[in-house]
Structure formats: C-alpha cells, structure tokens
Amino acid sequence: MLTRKQYELLVYIDRHLKQTGFSPSFEEMKDALSLKSKSGIHRLISALEERGYLARRHHRARALDVLRLPDNMLARDLPEDPPEAEVAHGFAPNVIRGDFTQRLPGVRSAGDAGAVELPMYGRIAAGLPIEALRDTSNQIEVPLALLGAGEHYGLEVAGDSMVEAGILDGDTVIILKGDSAENGQIVVALVDENEVTLKRLRRRGASIALEPCNVRHETRIFPADRVKVQGRIVALMRKY
C-alpha cells in the first residue's frame, strides 16, 4: 500500500508525463508536494520503484516511466508519511544534535540520561579494513536509549555518498557489530578484505550491490564472496 506522499507524487508524475511528454524535474516535484528538500523526492521515487509503480531510466536526465497506477485509491484513505527528515528503506537516523560539551537549561546530559562510552573506529575511508581504524584511545559517549543488545562502535563519516539517507560528511554513525544484515539496510561492508565502505546493501542472486544514497555516485556490484558485512547502522550523531 502506498503512503499519501507516494500516491501524490505518482499522480503528479503521471499527469506531467501526459501533459508534457517528459517527467518533471526534482525541483518541480519538491514544490508540487511542498517538501523542504529534494532528498525526500529521491526517497519517494525509490519506494515507488520498489513497489513496481515507477521505473527510472538511469544515466538519463528526467527519465521516469509510470508503470501502473493504484486501483480505486483515494488520497484521503492513505496513511500519512513520516516526517520528511525520517529516512525510508530500513533506516531512520536517530540524530543527536548540538554541542555535547554544553549544558542547556532543562536538558539532561547524556550522562544524566544514562550513557555508555563506545570505541571510535576513526574516519571511514576506502582502502582500510575496519579493524585498522580502531583507536582505543578515542571514545564517544552515546545515550543508552540509542542502543540495543550487542556490541556497538562509532565511525566518523567521510564524503557525501550517503547524503540522501540523511548521513552527512563529518557525522558520527553508531554501528551494531555483526556479519549479517537484511536487504536494504545500511551497512559497513568490507570488500576484498581491504576496503571498507558505508553503503546500502542489496542482494541480487549470487551478487551483492553496494548502493550509495547520492545520484552522483554509482552502485558497485560484487560476487557475494567478495563482500563481508561488518555491522549495520543503528543511530547517527551530529554536531553543529
């Protein structure tokens, strides 16, 4: 079942195609749906693709095809979408914002709320296995509310390959250590035993696709035996 925003976008794209012969721009779609950023449009389009309503012709600008429209569906009967800042497809980042060295009136510190210190594995970058990033002298304090069972660690994000998932350069992501993940989750992946990367994981038969969340970056596909999952993202922390 579609959400309200997914339905509105699908109807808008279909109408635009019939009227003009080409799909609307991301800016036009953003304005039509009254969203604050184009990243929300990227997420809605991805969701419509996964549900078989839209097809995107990659490497071509403004190339969307409507494959089908929902039957007998009224916008008033659809569920509301989550806030635009929430990210679909398996990860909605819990963002802790602010300067953690300061105490604000009426706001409890992480220590007051119950927190633990996690190891920081440094700045995630290609060319190094995750263990090589470990710096036992560097710790990060994380509220217990962000963590579940299992072993966790922090990573500083480098680059813009995941911006459409709300993960920006300089953010700290909290990773649940493990060697398995569900399709569509954002993971720390080790490629060929020497390159570590933060990407969305997709299994395609005997292959694994590591997908960026930025249209300027390309998806990389590997045989499954060349990719090892080293953890999946469970939270995000950001300083301003």
| Residues labelled as active-site residues | 161, 199
What string of DSSP letters covers 13-49?
A: HHHHHHHHSSPPPHHHHHHHTT-S-HHHHHHHHHHHH
Q: Give me the DSSP letters along 55-121.
A: EE-TTSTT-EEE----TT--GGGSPPPPPTTS--TT----EE-S-TTS--TT---HHHH-EEEEEEE
DSSP, res 5: H
Q: With the C-alpha atoms ordered 222, 225, 231, 234, is the resulting torsion angle positive or negative?
A: positive
2 phi/psi in degrees, rounded to 5: -85, 155
CB 238 within 8 A of CB 171: yes
One-letter identity of residue 17 = L
What angle is formed at CA 192 by the lines to CA 230 and CA 140, rounded to 5 degrees?
A: 30
Instruction: Give the angle 90-93-35 at the CA atoms, nearest 5°.
Output: 90
* Closest by CA position to 7, among listed 50, 62, 48, 52: 48
CB 232 within 8 A of CB 181: yes
